[in-house]
A and B are shown apart, each in its own frame.
Chain A
Amino acid sequence: MLYREAGQYKTSYAEDQQIFPIRQDRIAVALIVAVALVAVPLLASDYLYTAILIPFLILSLAAIGLNILVGYCGQISLGTGGFMAVGAYAAYNLCLRIEWLPLPIAILLAGLIAALAGILFGIPSLRIKGFYLAVATLAAQFFIDWLFARIGWFTNYTPSGSIVAPQLNVFGWIVDTPMEKYLFTLIVVALFALVAKNLVRGRIGRTWMAIRDMDIAAEIIGIRPLTAKLSAFAVSSFFVGVAGALWGFVHLGSWEPLAFGINRSFQLLFMIIIGGLGSILGCFLGAAFIMIVPLVLNQVPTALGIPLSTASISHMEAMIFGVMIVFFLIVEPHGFARLWSLAKEKLRIWPFPH
């Protein structure tokens, strides 16, 4: 009843091709953006910003990057943490060595450098696929970890190899308080999500999907696997690199290679699988599930006043989280995004399903 598109006529190609062709979707998105931009800053606490919202947004961005590669182009990668590190360290070095460079430009350039790294480590994908490729991308992960830990130049020869991000100065706006950091992240992530959404709807996205669905068939209809695969690696790593720079500069402020370790790569892969491969919305849902649910589980016993030791709580957290993953996969193997689209289908004909 509420969610019905009957009567919404498309009278031009532009209308037919817009991102959200259904009016209700447009309203919902506008509402979400309004809430995120206006209501959240009015209500949220420091904890919500720094421990939940900011990391959630940044990881969503990284998940979008990874989803472009895995969900749209079908190339499984476990090197995401490494490409995040490339972004973070590149941004740090750009800011350090070119002092006049404005921060947003530095972050974008860092993304480009990560894209180059992505292309380099994407080359094996031309020859191997599936889980073999996934494990092979671990080579990138471990190599990049090692590179930043060992080569002093990247860390400006700090004795401990740990880096401190400079002040965040966005064209004169000093991003300092948690709320400002949140808004800055939100703006960046929203813009990039929009770019991603458009990319995957466009020509290039369709070539990726063709490669994913059947590479040989795609080749026969004139898609070059080389450009399609490497462009997916490049674009994906660009997003991931920007996310890495944000993670270092905005979220952590000071970091070591371990912040972008193998666990981060796995975490991001979990996010897109559980959220939905090949869906931008799924990235946000997956990031929310993988990142926020453990934190909530961890706090429930204390909030309810159940006397459990922190060790038991964290063990329970792992167990329940594991069960939830399996449960949701059984309910809908294609992730939350599919669950949502099924719900939409149902809503369209509600309350008269027959």
Chain B
Amino acid sequence: MPEFLGPFLEVLIGGLLAGILYSLVALGFVLIFKASGVFNFAQGAMVLFAALALVRSIEVLQSWGVNAGLAIVIGFLFSGALMVALAFAVERMVLRPLVNQEGIILFMATIGITFFIDGFGQQIFGSDAYQLDIGIPKESIFLLEGVFEGGILVNELDLWAGATAGLLVLGLALFFQKTRIGRALRAVADDHQAAQSVGIPLNHIWVIVWAVAGIVALVAGTIWGSKLGVQFSIAQIALKALPVLILGGFTSVPGAIIGGLIIGAGEKLAEVYIGLPYFDGGIENWFAYMLALVFLLIRPQGLFGERIIERI
């Protein structure tokens, strides 16, 4: 075995797994954009909000003497319910009055939502760093130690994240393809007016989509929170999800996963093999965007995005 192969594989696998974590956040964006054409700036804030609700409710329950397992279950139910409530509120107070507005206006409205959630979440749940431990293992494991010196490092948490993302995508795919609501969602995504005219209630659909995106945010928040601790910075992971989005396409669920894998692996390999040796490092941030940009020049609608043909 050539000597460089071990470290290379390690960076590659590490990058792929990091990419999956970005995908989790990107998924939330995709869901909302697909069904309502809204570029939801608040997705990062929703991840933070969900994670804060989860970690704080578990803390409170445990201080009441509820046992750990039960507390986690109730915590999940509570924060899930909160995200659904948020979806209702957003639909009623923001989306409904702004129906039929241009994309950029709705985008701005989600910025208002972001400010609100940031302030609200921190006011209610506090702005300290909280530890989230719901029993996801975080040990490092070393694969193929016989083949490579020191083995290939993989973190269990990242593997769990990968599995969760896979399950989530599978679940979402089934939901979209097999259920009545899912079909209605796809109809709305295709054409708002046509969907409405065959009797699909647009408002309900939006609530459902935002609620699903909220649940996805809760999952992402749980994973990121277990990894980093729940604190304000996890809202900024949304920025990491943006190149994933343009690479995978704004409207494609599998695109978010594939895009995440490409971006994750690409930026880590670039950082370790180009950035640190030749440029004193720090290139991974813009490299992800450059990668996505170069890709866009070849395929302007992203990897799996719908080709929108604009004509007069």
Contact = CB atoms under 8 A, between A and B. Distances in A.
On whether the two chains bind one another, the answer is yes
B104 A132 contact: no
B127 A325 contact: no
Contacts of B114: 322
At the interface, is chain B mostly helix, strand, loop or mixed?
helix
B243 to A, nearest CB: 7
Interface in A264-300: 266, 270, 273-274, 277
Contact of A316 (B123, B239, B297): B123
Contact of A321 (B104, B115, B243, B312): B115
Nearest to A131: B39
B113 A329 contact: no
Interface in B113-135: 113-120, 122-123, 127
Contact of B296 (A128, A216, A317): A128
Interface stretch (B95-103, B160-168, B215-223): B95-103
Nearest to A266: B111
A273 B297 contact: no
B127 A311 contact: yes
Contacts of B157: none
Nearest to B289: A139
A124 interface: yes
Given A150-B280, A270-B111, A139 B97 contact: no
B120 A319 contact: yes
A281 to B, nearest CB: 18
Interface residues on B, range: 35 or more
A230 B122 CA distance: 43
B287 to A, nearest CB: 9
A139 B293 contact: yes
Interface string B239-283: 100110110001000000000000000000000000000011011
28 contacts: A129-B300, A135-B245, A136-B296, A146-B283, A146-B286, A150-B279, A150-B280, A216-B311, A217-B312, A262-B239, A270-B108, A273-B104, A277-B104, A312-B123, A319-B116, A321-B119, A322-B112, A322-B113, A322-B119, A325-B108, A325-B109, A325-B112, A325-B115, A326-B94, A329-B108, A329-B112, A330-B97, A333-B101
Interface of B: 39, 93-94, 97-98, 101-105, 107-109, 111-120, 122-123, 127, 239, 242-243, 245-246, 250, 279-280, 282-283, 285-286, 289-290, 292-293, 296-297, 300-302, 310-312
Given A127-B296, A146-B282, A329-B98, 9 more contacts: A131-B39, A138-B242, A216-B310, A216-B311, A311-B122, A319-B116, A321-B112, A330-B94, A334-B105
Interface of A: 76, 124, 127-132, 135-136, 138-139, 142-143, 145-146, 149-150, 214, 216-217, 262, 266, 270, 273-274, 277, 311-312, 314-326, 329-330, 333-334
